[in-house]
């Protein structure tokens, strides 16, 4: 059941990013293919950083606010741009199908030993420690923790990494808001979400490069 919840969330996030990107770029000119998804993702990362570090919102509040925005954006496209919404949703599902299938099969076949310890697990645990710290504390609370010299090692690592690589940990903590029985699988899904974004970027580049007449959204 966890796998299907995660897959649904990833697809909803991709479609929501496209829908919100479409709305954001309407005023400033239309983008070809799925470039609005990448534009929206860039804007989304800036928003998460600003909301967490400057307005001191909790990641949980940012999570629900973002989901509401994505949901309303999707509803807007369904009402006013239904054909475009259906076309681009099918395209997103096609691009994400193979990575999602690989994610599902690897996790199901090899289990925790694979997706927890595969690759550079030391780096992975550092990111996960930071993401868990962000999930449970807003930035003001983390600053108070930093001033305490007698803290557990994983919290010390988490606070240190938050200053050097904030966006990766913030987005991972965004994923950790999903209620599943094993949060390690969320870290694995997060990697595949980034892979899908890379594939979308490659698709956009190749489409712009080889098509004489771009198809505008």
Predicted confidence pLDDT, tens digits, the chain (217 residues): 788 888 999 999 999 999 999 988 876 555 556 788 988 999 999 999 999 888 889 999 999 999 999 999 999 999 998 998 999 999 999 999 998 898 888 888 877 777 777 766 667 777 788 888 888 887 777 776 655 555 555 565 556 666 677 888 889 999 999 988 787 888 888 888 999 999 998 888 887 777 644 444 4
| Closest among 2, 10, 1, 46 to 199, alpha carbons compared | 10
Return d(Cα 135, Cα 163) in angstroms, integer. Answer: 16
| Closest among 135, 133, 119, 122 to 191, alpha carbons compared | 119
Return d(Cα 82, Cα 157) in angstroms, integer. Answer: 47
Tokens of 133: 């710290």
Per-residue exposure over 66-104, b if at least 16 CB sit within 10 Å of its own CB, e if not = bbebbeebbeebeeebeeebeebbebbeebbeebbeebb
Return d(Cα 69, Cα 62) in angstroms, integer. Answer: 10
Beta-bridge mates of residue 216:
32
Q: What is the sign of the dihedral through the CA atoms of 85, 86, 88 and 89?
A: positive
């Amino acid at each position: 059941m966890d796998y299907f919840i995660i897959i649904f969330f990833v697809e909803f996030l991709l479609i929501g990013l496209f829908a919100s990107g479409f709305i954001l770029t309407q005023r400033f000119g239309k983008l070809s293919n799925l470039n609005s998804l990448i534009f929206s993702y860039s804007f989304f990362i800036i928003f998460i950083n600003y909301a967490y570090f400057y307005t001191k919102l909790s990641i949980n509040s940012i999570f629900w606010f973002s989901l509401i925005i994505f949901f309303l954006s999707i509803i807007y496209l369904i009402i006013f741009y239904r054909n475009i919404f259906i076309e681009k949703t099918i395209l997103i599902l096609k691009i994400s199908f193979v990575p999602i299938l690989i994610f599902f099969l690897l996790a199901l076949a090899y289990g925790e030993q694979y997706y927890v310890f595969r690759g550079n697990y030391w780096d992975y645990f550092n990111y996960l420690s930071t993401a868990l710290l962000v999930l449970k504390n807003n930035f003001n609370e983390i600053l108070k923790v930093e001033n305490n010299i007698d803290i557990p090692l994983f919290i010390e690592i988490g606070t240190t990494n938050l200053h050097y690589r904030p966006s990766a940990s913030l987005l991972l903590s965004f994923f950790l808001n999903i209620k599943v029985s094993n949060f390690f699988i969320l870290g694995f899904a997060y990697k595949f979400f980034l892979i899908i974004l890379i594939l979308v970027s490659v698709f956009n580049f190749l489409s712009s490069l080889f098509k004489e007449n771009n198809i505008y959204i």
